[in-house]
Amino acid sequence: MSVEVPMTVPEGLRPLVEAVSVLRAEDPAAGERPPLVHLPDPGTSLIFRTTCAGHSDLLVIGPRTRASYHVGKDLPFCLRLRLRPGATRPLLGVPVSEVVDRVVRLGDLWGASCDPLTAALRHADGDHGLVLRHLEAALPARLSTDGARRELVQAAVRALRGRTGARREPLPALARHLAVSERHLRGLFADAVGLSPKRYERIERVRSALALGRADGRWADLATATGYYDQSHMTAEFRTLMGVTPAAFFQGRLPALQPC
């Protein structure tokens, strides 16, 4: 699998970006290339990568509602910026719901205005610091001045993340806590996050099970720790989003790999 090595988020990108990482492939054993596993992820990322063939891409990776499993490949350079939920919509210029389960070139969303940035990144020649400086110079200008909306989105996301590991509070109660209508909250999530609040929470809960994952077979304990009703509920949700049961995943018995 690929591993993410965290980097410090430059100060100028902090209103837009919550994490920066370099993606590196783990050293394969006996010359075998490890599988590339894309986990379900409610967030949106901006990735700049260079392939072995020398091609460079500036890509938007939208929220992923299910895991996918691919044949591993070598990427000499791959830098990921995980975008803040409240900043994603103004940065992309389209509702985030339009990029769910998709990989889109940023240039397809921005048009010709993306060309200078893409060219500058291409000529950075794999220098992480220089790539980040180019992004820091270009991206903040896209951020809207509607700070209240960004704060509302981020407050809603924090509330849902904070409920992972506990029994769910009804959505109307969350909306009241945020002083908005339930309808407004649903629309806000579709536009700014790309998912319904319920689907967002389902993905976060499975991700918490992955983070706490265990190979000792004590699935009932894992279900309790991550806020599922019981073990069968966790197993069903895990299979739906991951394509395999928890036991199969943690034992490395993955679905058939697909070309990336």
> Over the stretch 34-67, which tens digit does the pLDDT of each residue have?
788 899 999 999 999 987 777 889 999 999 999 9
Domain chopping of the chain, boundaries: 2-142
CA 167 to the chain's CA centroid: 23
Residue pointed to by tokens 């091609």: 55
Which helix (H) or strand (E) element contains residue 56?
Answer: strand 56-61
pLDDT at 109: 96
pLDDT at 30: 47
Q: In this structure, are residues 226 and 212 in contact, taking their beta carbons and an 8 Å threshold?
A: yes
**pLDDT lower than 50: segments of the chain:** 1, 30
Contact partners, residue 79, CB within 8 Å, separation at least 6: 20, 21, 22, 23, 47, 48, 49, 128, 131, 132
Please list the residues that pair with 19 across neighbouring strands. 82
The values of phi and psi at residue 231, to 5°, are -65, -40
CA neighbor of 45 nearest in space, from 93, 94, 87, 7: 87
H-assigned helices in the chain: 85-92, 106-110, 115-122, 128-138, 147-162, 171-177, 182-192, 197-211, 219-225, 231-242, 246-250
Contact partners, residue 28, CB within 8 Å, separation at least 6: 34, 72
